[in-house]
Structure 1
Amino acid sequence: MSAGRTARERVRAELIREITGIARRQLATEGAAGLSLRAVAREMGMVSSAIYRYFPSRDDLLTALIIDGYNAVGEAVERADAKARADAEAGDGAEAGDGGFAGRWLAVCRAVRGWALEHPHEYALLYGSPVPGYTAPDDTVPAAVRDTVVLARIIGEAHAAGALEPAGPCPPALAGDMARVRAAVSMDVPDEVVAPALTAWAGLYGTVSFELFGQFNNVIEERAAYFDHTMTLLGRLAGLKA
């Protein structure tokens, strides 16, 4: 690769970072529906036509922001699980003895909440109301499931270690759905394990959304304590021994 091409690629990557950075600030002030390539170009001092070399449409920019957001959540979750797993392996107490699965689950949940509280507008783009006229393309999926793959790994390892207590049988009518979930996150466990794990995962994001979007206002004051308690209950639902 020539030095000139490398320099051009660095400049392009830097411009893309600047464009997406400005777009994230727009999310905070205008919301996803108000995202405008022309407004981004104005802030950068570019003519509108120039920005289309990097993002041909608003939807392309939205897709880039969505992929970046999912990857950021995924990275936060992966780091949290790696640390919790290392801590459990290094310990010599009960948590180390049972693989630390419940502790890893709680660490992952806290990572999701922490990222959401630090990046509320990006979280809203991912998990809030759909953007009118926009449909996320399939290339967002690998980033979108990074966090879920971590949960699948925790549950799968707990199941393999005999450290899981499933809630009960899964209705046969859900067999097709559970098969699709397994395929999406490479989860090699039976339906009665998949179903409660999926419920716990949905409960995690539901609890975070309630906090972030104001449903807990004037009701729940001890947010962190409530969150940890709820995640512990959801972990038990998924079969993780506290």
Structure 2
Amino acid sequence: MSTPRQRYREQVRSEIKQAALAQIGAGGAAALSLNAVARHLGMTGPAIYKYFESRDSLLTELILDGFGEVAAAVRAEVPAEGSGGEPRERLHALARAFFSWVVAHPHLFHLLAGTPSPGYRAPPESVRQAREVLGPFLPVFGRGRCGPAAAPLREELLRWVEETPDVAEWVRAYAPDGDPGTALTGTVMVWTRLQGILSLEVQGQFTGMGHRAATLLTAEMDSLADTMGL
């Protein structure tokens, strides 16, 4: 059980993160300033460093929180064991969950999808967290088969699996019964398509084009399902 002091500390840290997200939402990650966050919360500049040692440490925690949130949103669409579901339907459900979370948290998506600020280096933990987001897609594509257009990519990714133990472990953990090369090929392709659609959507690039991003998402997922034999 946490002590009152620990609970107070976590409350203040949460308030700092919420203020930082509001600042990022208003001006982008480059606008984030610990001193500005401190002033917003009525704290002194030095006081905030008791909770986060640097601007980058705050950014890192926001990024890890973001990956955790979107992973939970995607994971919530994974069917219960034994309940099945057609791979194509599952692909659409997972993609919609990813899409919906990003549309609701565009400023966080910018943190996850790019470099928040010049010189920032994401910790290795962020790679593991990103894989947790994509993991539920692996068993979906593991039940498919690569079409001719995707075959060269499958060969390259299969070598990556064979040469990189942590990647092999990740694929095996989510798709133990599927072909690892096929599972990873589809997952890489869905990641690039989601990133492309969502990057354009949160930047407002579809404005005035006469279509909804969600409609484009459905078309892209059906196209990918065809490519991957789902």
TM-score range, shorter chain: 0.7 to 0.9
Normalising by structure 2, we get a TM-score of 0.85
- The DSSP-based 3-state class of the residue aligned with 2:76 is helix
Given candidates 149, 170, 177, the residue that maps to 2:160 is 177
Task: State percent identity of aligned pairs.
Answer: 35
Whichever residue aligns with residue 54 of structure 1, its letter is Y
> Does residue 25 of structure 1 match 2:22?
yes
Cα distance 1:87–1:152, how it changes in 2: closer, same or farther (>3 A)? closer
1:32-71 pair list within 5 angstroms: 32-71=29-68
Matched, 1:209 2:204: no
Question: Which residue of 165, 170, 174 maps to 2:145?
Answer: 165
CA change 1:230–1:182 in 2 (3 A) is: same
C-alpha distance in structure 1 between counterparts of 2:170 and 2:80, whole Å: 26
Q: 1:69 to 1:203 in 2, by over 3 A?
A: same
SS in structure 2 at match of 1:16: helix
For the 8 Å contact 2:135–2:171, the answer to whether it is kept is yes
Count of aligned residue pairs for this structure pair? 220
Residue 142 of structure 1 and its aligned partner are, at CA, apart by 2.6
1:120 aligns with 2:101: no
| Pair 1:211–1:86, CA change in 2 (3 A) | same
RMSD of Structure 2 on Structure 1 (CA) = 2.4
- Structure 1 runs not aligned, ≥5 long: 90-95
1:11 maps to which of 8, 11, 16: 8
Aligned counterparts of 2:203 and 2:218: Cα–Cα separation in 1: 18
Larger mean CA deviation between 38-47 and 223-232 belongs to 223-232
Contact kept, 8 Å, 2:110 with 2:116, in 1: the verdict is no
Greater alpha carbon shift after TM alignment, 141-150 vs 105-114: 141-150
Q: Where in structure 2 are the equivalents of 1:227-238 lying within 5 Å? A: 227-238=217-228
1:144 to 127, 130, 133: 130
Does residue 222 of structure 1 match 2:197? Answer: no
- Name structure 2 gaps, 5 residues minimum: none
Q: Is the 8 A contact 2:30 2:117 kept in 1?
A: yes
**TM-score normalised by L of structure 1:** 0.81
Query: Structure 2 CA distance, aligned partners of 1:142 and 1:193?
Result: 17
User: Is 1:106 matched with 2:92?
Assistant: yes
Q: Following the alignment from structure 1 to structure 2, what is the Cα–Cα distance between the partners of residues 235 and 25?
A: 37
Q: What do the CA deviations read for 1:66-86 (whole angstroms, capped 9, x no partner)?
A: 0011111101001122xxx25
Q: Are positions 1:197 and 2:187 aligned together?
A: yes
Alpha-carbon distance in 2 for matches of 1:174, 1:224:
29
- Check conservation: 2:138, 2:186, Cα contact below 8 A: no
Q: Shift of residue 42 of structure 1?
A: 0.8
